[in-house]
Amino acid sequence: MGDRDPSDWQPDLVSYHCTYAGAWISVKHAYDLTTDQEEHAALTGMLDTCA
């Protein structure tokens, strides 16, 4: 799973999606990495689960 982005894999536990997306975005930001449209859409969907 380490070589797959959120458009290809997401944690089964939906209540963890917000935490997972936040961590993914933090790593992308720290290393100045980009996202493609599919990854961005998946992350947006996961962030929609945040309270």
User: What number of residues does the chain have?
Assistant: 51
pLDDT of residue 7: 96
Q: How does pLDDT run along the chain (51 residues), one tens digit per residue? A: 567 999 999 999 999 999 999 999 999 999 999 999 999 999 999 999 998
Distance of CA 5 to CAs 26, 50, 51, Å? 14, 19, 23
pLDDT of residue 2: 65
The alpha carbon of residue 22 and the mean position of all alpha carbons in its chain are separated, in whole angstroms, by 7
Task: Please report which residue ranges of the chain form alpha helices under DSSP H.
Answer: 17-30, 37-47
**Residue at token pair 């790593």:** 27
